[in-house]
Chain A
């Protein structure tokens, strides 16, 4: 796969999601009637999703130094304007002192909550859920069009060890925890929309609390599985010229041929790197969510991206905005992983005769191995001094 194209696509999608670059600028507003304060036109422009230049209020913070003293008859704050103060708080320009402790305690107002909530409850569920349904439908259609990929000439009955116990353990640790994370993540994301109307608030509450506990804690097993599989298989997943031949032949899926392959073919390598790259990304954003406000990473990432690509991602983020970005990114990456893994599960189970054995008991039929991983079989047989089941 062309990684540059993939990277550009991901970046474009992220830009479209996070930066409403398509929003038109609102027409200039005459604010003399309000003394420079917000007008109905400003409010209406925001409702129409137009870009409103907020500088008329973000920079209108008054001058407390010239205000009347608190000893005068103006209350405890003297002549300092409440509106100026709240605008300062609203635009993070005030020196906030609170009795509450914590990394985000000095942010009293941030307005990213509703856009985050709407994005999460709207496009994320719609497109994410749509992608899951789409891949399932695609695979069902594929199954009926192509049918199960069988071993040509049938199984030989002679077995060869495909994966050692430790490899299978790492795979299933990753797979089992991922399925648990995917299901509990979907429950958390979609439960409010789809489950509460069916099972009610009380039943959903119990389910949601359990899901949250499992999601937060089984994540460590996922990360361990990710590290294990990376260490065990990265050497076998370095792309080479053979992969291009495999891709040109479409993996032999439609031509019913068997392009040469070592331990992992190009399709498996794509899955491997997809899982690794997305797995690291989903883990990092997950850690950021697991330890709220302790691991902000989007301001730094955006700053780096802006420096390299000349984009205009926001770099001054409140702790809450960091969490909102982490949550949205976590969902997007998780959906992308789910789509890839559903396809992987299909081809590793109902889609191909003999494939599940590789991870089931580690022993695959030698004929299956010759047809799908001929060069790997030659390597193994050369090491074993030709032939003999393992």
Chain B
């Protein structure tokens, strides 16, 4: 049962780490469709 608990904790750790790691590669879905360089001319 310890292994089961450890796996569940690992799943949560991965979940918390995933967005941090993805942001390092600028792989954030939140960035899609937006840009800081929109030209209005």
Distance between A292 CB and nearest chain B CB, rounded to angstroms: 5
A158-207 residues at the B interface, CB under 8 angstroms: 165, 168-173, 175-177, 180
Contact A100–B14 (Cβ < 8 Å): no
Contact B3–A169 (Cβ < 8 Å): yes
Interface secondary structure of B, over-half rule: helix
Interface size on A, residues (CB 8 A): 36
Contact A176–B11 (Cβ < 8 Å): yes
Interface check B24, CB cutoff 8 A: no
Contact A220–B18 (Cβ < 8 Å): yes
Contact A168–B4 (Cβ < 8 Å): yes
Contact B38–A221 (Cβ < 8 Å): no
Count of inter-chain pairs, beta carbons less than 8 A = 80
A335-363 residues at the B interface, CB under 8 angstroms: 359-362
Interface secondary structure of A, over-half rule: helix
Contact A180–B37 (Cβ < 8 Å): no
| A293, B35: Cα distance in complex, Å | 15
Interface check A245, CB cutoff 8 A: no
Contact A291–B11 (Cβ < 8 Å): no
Distance between A350 CB and nearest chain B CB, rounded to angstroms: 17
Q: A173-B11, A220-B18, A221-B14 are in contact. Are A291 and B27 (CB under 8 A)?
A: yes
Other-chain contact of B34, A102, A168, A173, A361 (Cβ < 8 Å): A102
Contact A172–B14 (Cβ < 8 Å): no
A119-177 residues at the B interface, CB under 8 angstroms: 165, 168-173, 175-177
Residues of B within 8 A of A220 (CB): 14-15, 18
B1-41 residues at the A interface, CB under 8 angstroms: 1, 3-4, 6-8, 10-12, 14-16, 18-19, 27, 29, 32-35, 37-40
Nearest A residue to B4 via CB reads: A172
* Interfacial residues, chain A to chain B (CB-CB below 8 A): 99-105, 165, 168-173, 175-177, 180, 214, 216-218, 220-222, 224-225, 290-294, 359-362
* Interfacial residues, chain B to chain A (CB-CB below 8 A): 1, 3-4, 6-8, 10-12, 14-16, 18-19, 27, 29, 32-35, 37-40
